Structure 1
Amino acid sequence: MADDGMILNFDLGMDVVAPKPRAKITGGRWRDRVKAQKSLQASASSSSAKEGRKSRDGDDGNVDAGYERPVKRIRVDQPSAPKAGGRPGGGKPGQPREITSSLFSFNPKAVTNFEEAEVEKEAAEPSNAPLAENSFKGLGLSDRLVAELEKLKLDKPTAIQKTSIPLLVNSTSDAFIQAETGSGKTMAYVLPMLHRVMALSQDSKIHRNSGIFGIILTPTRELAKQVYAVMCQLLRATPWLVASPVIGGESKKSEKARIRKGVNFLVATPGRLTDHLQNTQVLKLSTVRWLVLDEGDRLMELGFEDDIQKLITQLGKAEVAPQTYDGVSLANLPDRRITVLCSATMKMSVQKLGDMSLKDAIHVEAPKEDAVERKAQESTFSAPAQLKMSYIVTPSKLRFVTLISYLKSVFARKGSVMKLIIFISCADSVNFHYEMLRGPPAREKSSENPTSLTVNTVAHAAYITSAANKDIMLHRLHGSLPQPVRTATLRSFSDCKDPTVLITTDISSRGLDIPSVDVVVELDPAFSIEDHIHRIGRTARAGRPGKSVIFLTPGCEEGYVSLMASNSGTPTAQNYDTVLQNGLSIPMELPFETHAKVEEKQSYTEKAENLQLHLEQRLLEDRKRLDLGRNGFKSHIRAYATHTKEERGFFDLTQLHLGHLAKSFCLREAPGGIGNGIERKASKAGRAKKAGRDGPTAGSKRGREDAGEEVVGGQEAFMRMGRMMGKLGASEFNLG
């Protein structure tokens, strides 16, 4: 049969080289085989690249093996028409200048329509202000306490104080106190305790050795210190009664000595108190009449459930003594132990804590007036009515420059703002922003005592000063600092008479009553809506006015506004363009010498890009500062994955542009190694199946390697860590 097929003859030519057979590594350990295979592939890739450069450039291909692409290039400007939007480092044609990526190009578009955004509303009537028609004396408190309250300039109770104080003074029932932030819950439970013990001391000889009458548990050391300070001020009229803090980070030996000497009121954190219950024999509970669980939702979120359960169990085992250790009758005190739970929410964790600690409790909340009618507070609560809220939609690249512009415009008028708090998600980011916003170190050495506890946490601010406020103080605070440093820094911020800024994590968001806080800035959104409300609750307290602003990026984060509106009222939208124009129109003096200059004749876009270039150059000049930026970036990414499950749709890790976000940390490119330290494990069933097929046991490390366990990508690992942290309700980023 004839062959009727078609014969094709392809001439491959003499230049085509057949691909080299891929070497196969055999024998030895699996890990060694993988390393050897990767080494061969890298050598082959390097040879191919070198040959490619030879053929393309026509040279001998002698290129340094350690060569890396430069971060930025230096070029000579040619005379040309200026680009719209401006480029940094401008100068005369023919002069070298540094190239940096534009801050105003390739940014995502905002969903918010700023032309239709609401005009800033007038502040409503305060919802947490003292009531003018009432007085503390009318609530049945002793004259001694009323006199001390007047010295503190507190003569009118708030709504929650008016409701709770008479009940706790006259009743022996447990109580659940629920009120919005800044409404005076601390005084609501402290005053009834002190009143009843002071009344007992008038008829009997009560002193510090009479026993412990009240224990107050707080979730953080800062809140414990604050409650202790309030009690000390109120106990000035009765020096025979003593309060003492029992918190982590302090000397346990000193605490034991104070307990042995005699204490009437303990203000404690759960972990340290549990330690003393186990190891301090002089700590006796038979005279305790009040147990206060302050910020109950936070106590549960931080994992103190076991410690609280141990305390409640030991209190239940201890008999209620009818008299003190020296024989003084306690008949005028409650005949049972009263538990008071304070929380702004009624979440499931709080209900669980209530079931564990309360018996037939009275629910106490402020009466809802017609003028300030609130929604039901079963799961959420509201911000103060007089608080002016806003949000700034800004691309990731412009976050830092926009923050500086906003701070500069805030402090543009003398006396307008005295204290401002910036909330950031993690300690590394706090350290970075503090370092970048502080003034030159030479100035600090001449003005600060080198032996001071705050020498590294308090400094003079740069960039944000103005002709009206030439000296602005800068503070930083987070949970990784030693406790004495944290206490001294917080005291310095509270007592500062100059305009001052506190850069902090969520460690400062709960319960702290810092006077004269005018503005709260959330550079990083909170991990949950409850934390957001607590943050902005540091201002507009006890009837004072206040402002808050949160930074959001264009896209899915803008949807977070709807969640804020349902809990705390609709905030006013601001565009970053307006913020930049207002802030950069004020003359700026750069405190450090770099090639980039910010001059008056430049447009606001040129100023913004030159300011960004100036900050980037500062990082490149100092290795330690560069490491701060990299660590801050990595920690920020990890913290971003810990938002609660319900809010993760607004804060989608997959939507982050890492290169743009790196610019907000003054980095030229996003650093690697973000997923280091995250445990990467496949499912147990998958490991067992592969191990059963390949031989070694799934439980051993060698078995998992030989079974070909799947390596999870960094982004998936972040999401997995976020889901895990969401279940726990807290993470290292909330405090550290």
Structure 2
Amino acid sequence: MAEGVLMLNVSDPPPSIHHTSSQERHSSQRKWTEKKPGTGKRKASFGNPENNSAKQRKTNTSDQDLNLKNETESRHKPVILASKSASKPKASPKKGHGEDKGHDRPFIKTSSLFRNNPEIPEVVSPAVTQLKEKVFTSNSFEELDLHPHLVATLNKLFLVTSMTSVQKETIPVLMSGKDAVVRSQTGSGKTLAYGIPLVQSLQAVRPKVKRSDGPLAIVIVPTRELAQQSFQIFQKLLKPFTWIVPGVLMGGEKKKSEKARLRKGINILISTPGRLVDHIKNTLSIAFSAVRWLVLDEADRTLDLGFEKDLTVILNALNAAGPARQNVLLSATLTEGLSRLASISMTDPVYIQVSDVDGSLKAAEPTPQTALQPDLTDSYAIPDKLQQHMVVVPSKLRLVCLAAFILAKCKFEKSQKLIIFVSSCEAVEFLVTLLSTVLCGKPSTTSKHQPPISFLRLHGNMQQEERMEVFQEFSQSNTGVLLCTDVAARGLDLPQVTWIIQYNPPTSAAEYVHRVGRTARIGAKGNGLLFLSPSETTYIDVLAKHNISLHEMKMNDILSSLKQDERFRGRGKWDSRRSAGAQEQEVRERATVLQTDFENYVHGSAESVQAAKKALQSFVRAYTAYPSTLKHIFHIRNLHLGHAAKSFGLRDAPKGLSAATANSKEKKKGKGKDVKRPLKKLTSRERVASLIRSEYSSGLDGESKSKKKRKKKKTNMENTEGKDVMEQ
């Protein structure tokens, strides 16, 4: 008897449901075994994937119909054939060479990243004449009439011998006792520009300054990190002059210890506006009768953050208690608010502007009105060695594109230090957890001995101690990624930062300048990358009006770095194929695998899903907060919420962004009756259908308010009619 043949004594059994399903199963097995020898390698198709899949479905359907017809014509043959093939499924794991690796990975449960995206437009950067500012001059500090110990400190502790352009212009003006408004590019040495003349004047006071004299100089800065950084600079400058005591006041510190320091005495007081106002109102030991200097560093940011009332309180307290003083305002940008502040607090100030189209220096003494001419306020000086780039990325691909860029710089290149600016605190928290888990969690075969990428976070909702720890850790590290809000955009000097990534576009050109100013400081090289969606590309024209020019970087070039990481290998085998289409298909597969890893993590627990929804909500809130002058670019109507959800690792479009907020409020009140209701479990077919819908859905509620109102009214009417019938 032939091997593998099973003989059955069956004579036309009556058709039953069980027998039919058995025949269909055997028929499908026979079809699989007949089809298997030809499926050694699958052909890659690079045309429209939707058309190809439609053709494939049509072919499969016709094959099934043909097999079913043959099966009904002869009933006994299939039984014998099925018995032959019944022994073969044991050998079915020996698939084609291209398929055997595919089953190492879980089935990709994500909808296509590369379908239904808006077209990426051709970006043409307008030609601009960029403002140039010569950072260093050939003049040394020894040319100034400074104390020899101060010059030695600059040489030894700060490792500087020659002045920057802004220092050359500013120091002589301030040493002459005049008020000044200083405007210069970020990273040009503005802190030393006012710090050196301040220390020089205080060390020359006779009799010597005593700690008990109280504040002689007050320095106001917008953020805690900048306050701490300025305090450390003054500590170094005052090394030779130990009788002058610096001190810092800022939110997050204990008021009791700050009051104790104020009672002992602080001569140079560095503070954030809010905390200083708090002490003016509540601390009796603070006195401004001896104040000789008032410095407002990053003054425009101080006004932007809403500290205008606090500044008024501080100025009134100084004017009421102290004699005439010297005032200094410093910023990389000059605004109308600064002009008002200068006119209120200063007398005949010198306006120092060290950048021009031809790079020449200039300092003048104009009135505030002539100082704010359009050519000065509208154009910003960018460091010469800063390379500025932009990339246009559809919303669905933002997350994988960011991850690919981080891998390219921090894993496959050496000594790269990145700062990523995000629009909200919740988004920072979520992205740090997501990126560190997915990018560092899986073992890599390509770089076993390479340490994992270090991810840090910095935002306003963190405790002060933690903020300072992160600031110090990132300052001292050689590599790493810092995700932060605009709390780190002003004045902070973080050494060796090579890339500034603006994941969410800034709300103004001035904010753009301050963000990219964290790199390419004091003549060093640096790079900037701005993420834009296809609907936001006109933002380039807005920046061009301020003499800022960006070079386009292609999204596919960034995603192609995933080919270097074997953790994100797709199902297909593309190594042997070198055509452009094959390369692109491999990149797409790897991007989809990476997106799947993100989505698997997010949907792995209810907590991570909730964190993703909160981050998405905060992103949408920030998107609605762009100023009216930019609403034609950043409008909520242009935002596809279903695609935006993808960039937070959510598989489906949210049902309504207000729902999560409402649920959280109900939980707090203890009225969350509907919150505990278990979610309906979807079948595989329903889930695929919902995935396809999420490609097109904007995430907004399907029914309008008027329609819901009509439904409610109709239901109420039916209820009242029912009651009337019951009463009758």
TM-score by length of 2: 0.71
1:340 aligned to 322, 328, 333, which one?
A: 328
The answer for the alignment partner of 1:309 in structure 2 is 312
Q: CA RMSD in A?
A: 3.4
Q: How does 1:465-504 map to 2 (within 5 A)?
A: 470-497=451-478, 499-504=479-484
Name the SS for the 1:216 alignment partner: strand
Residues 1:251 and 2:254 are matched in the alignment: yes
Residues 1:130 and 2:133 are matched in the alignment: no
2:146 aligned to 133, 138, 141, which one?
A: 141
CA contact (8 A) 1:126 1:543 kept: no
In 2: Cα distance, 1:165 partner to 1:598 partner: 65
**Structure 1 pair 661–369 and aligned structure 2 pair: CA distance change class (3 A):** closer
In 2: Cα distance, 1:641 partner to 1:239 partner: 51
CA contact (8 A) 2:655 2:701 kept: no
The answer for the alignment partner of 2:706 in structure 1 is none
How many residues end up aligned between the 2 structures? 557
1:111 aligned to 121, 131, 141, which one?
A: 121
Amino acid at match of 2:112: S
1:654 aligned to 609, 632, 637, which one?
A: 637
The answer for the alignment partner of 2:166 in structure 1 is 160
Q: How does 1:680-695 map to 2 (within 5 A)?
A: none
Task: After superposing the two structures, state which structure 1 stretch, 377-386 or 275-284, moved more.
Answer: 377-386
Q: How does 1:550-561 map to 2 (within 5 A)?
A: 550-555=530-535, 557-561=536-540
Name the SS for the 1:102 alignment partner: coil
Residues 1:170 and 2:176 are matched in the alignment: yes
**Structure 1 pair 204–93 and aligned structure 2 pair: CA distance change class (3 A):** closer
Residues 1:194 and 2:199 are matched in the alignment: yes
In 2: Cα distance, 1:464 partner to 1:628 partner: 31
The answer for the alignment partner of 1:406 in structure 2 is 405
Name the SS for the 2:140 alignment partner: coil
The answer for the alignment partner of 1:589 in structure 2 is 567
In 1: Cα distance, 2:490 partner to 2:443 partner: 29
Residues 1:385 and 2:384 are matched in the alignment: yes
The answer for the alignment partner of 2:500 in structure 1 is 520
Amino acid at match of 2:484: T
CA contact (8 A) 2:179 2:328 kept: yes
Q: CA deviation at 1:129?
A: 2.5
Q: CA deviation at 1:624?
A: 1.9
Residues 1:642 and 2:625 are matched in the alignment: yes
The answer for the alignment partner of 2:188 in structure 1 is 183
Q: CA deviation at 1:470?
A: 3.8
In 1: Cα distance, 2:445 partner to 2:144 partner: 47
Larger-gyration structure (1/2) = 2
The answer for the alignment partner of 2:238 in structure 1 is 235
In 2: Cα distance, 1:603 partner to 1:486 partner: 41
Q: CA deviation at 1:165?
A: 0.2
Q: CA deviation at 1:266?
A: 0.6
CA contact (8 A) 1:126 1:385 kept: yes
Amino acid at match of 2:141: F
The answer for the alignment partner of 1:543 in structure 2 is 523
Deviations 1:236-287 (A, max 9, x none): 1222211111111101001001111111011001111011111111111111
CA contact (8 A) 2:132 2:357 kept: no
**Structure 1 pair 461–488 and aligned structure 2 pair: CA distance change class (3 A):** farther
CA contact (8 A) 1:382 1:567 kept: no
**Structure 1 pair 464–158 and aligned structure 2 pair: CA distance change class (3 A):** farther
In 2: Cα distance, 1:474 partner to 1:93 partner: 32
CA contact (8 A) 2:247 2:270 kept: yes
Amino acid at match of 2:427: S
Q: CA deviation at 1:588?
A: 4.0
In 1: Cα distance, 2:445 partner to 2:537 partner: 27
Deviations 1:638-687 (A, max 9, x none): 111111221221112101111111111111112244247999xxxxxxxx
1:426 aligned to 414, 424, 427, which one?
A: 424
1:435 aligned to 433, 436, 453, which one?
A: 433
TM-score by length of 1: 0.70
Deviations 1:423-456 (A, max 9, x none): 0000111111101111489xxxxxxxxxxxxxxx
2:588 aligned to 601, 605, 610, which one?
A: 605
Name the SS for the 1:370 alignment partner: coil
CA contact (8 A) 2:133 2:359 kept: no
Q: How does 1:662-701 map to 2 (within 5 A)?
A: 662-675=645-658
2:303 aligned to 294, 300, 307, which one?
A: 300
In 2: Cα distance, 1:198 partner to 1:464 partner: 61
The answer for the alignment partner of 2:46 in structure 1 is 84
Task: After superposing the two structures, state which structure 1 stretch, 221-230 or 600-609, moved more.
Answer: 600-609
Q: CA deviation at 1:226?
A: 0.9
Q: CA deviation at 1:294?
A: 1.3
Q: Which runs of 5+ in 2 are unaligned?
A: 1-34, 54-97, 363-373, 576-584, 663-699, 703-728
Q: How does 1:269-308 map to 2 (within 5 A)?
A: 269-308=272-311
In 2: Cα distance, 1:627 partner to 1:656 partner: 21
In 1: Cα distance, 2:445 partner to 2:134 partner: 32
The answer for the alignment partner of 1:260 in structure 2 is 263
CA contact (8 A) 2:99 2:571 kept: no
**Structure 1 pair 678–190 and aligned structure 2 pair: CA distance change class (3 A):** farther
The answer for the alignment partner of 1:214 in structure 2 is 217
CA contact (8 A) 1:412 1:467 kept: no
In 2: Cα distance, 1:227 partner to 1:314 partner: 23
Q: CA deviation at 1:370?
A: 3.1
Name the SS for the 1:391 alignment partner: strand
**Structure 1 pair 440–401 and aligned structure 2 pair: CA distance change class (3 A):** closer
In 2: Cα distance, 1:129 partner to 1:342 partner: 17
CA contact (8 A) 2:395 2:533 kept: yes
The answer for the alignment partner of 2:599 in structure 1 is 616
Amino acid at match of 1:494: S
Q: CA deviation at 1:400?
A: 0.8
In 1: Cα distance, 2:382 partner to 2:557 partner: 26
In 2: Cα distance, 1:677 partner to 1:130 partner: 53
Q: Which runs of 5+ in 1 are unaligned?
A: 1-76, 321-335, 442-458, 680-712, 716-736
Q: CA deviation at 1:127?
A: 3.2
In 2: Cα distance, 1:191 partner to 1:373 partner: 21
The answer for the alignment partner of 1:20 in structure 2 is none
In 2: Cα distance, 1:292 partner to 1:381 partner: 22
The answer for the alignment partner of 2:24 in structure 1 is none
**Structure 1 pair 273–462 and aligned structure 2 pair: CA distance change class (3 A):** farther
Amino acid at match of 1:575: K
CA contact (8 A) 2:215 2:291 kept: yes
Q: Percent identity?
A: 34
CA contact (8 A) 1:477 1:503 kept: yes
Name the SS for the 1:84 alignment partner: coil
The answer for the alignment partner of 1:101 in structure 2 is 111
**Structure 1 pair 461–148 and aligned structure 2 pair: CA distance change class (3 A):** farther
In 2: Cα distance, 1:265 partner to 1:667 partner: 51
Residues 1:562 and 2:560 are matched in the alignment: no
Name the SS for the 2:266 alignment partner: coil
CA contact (8 A) 1:243 1:265 kept: yes
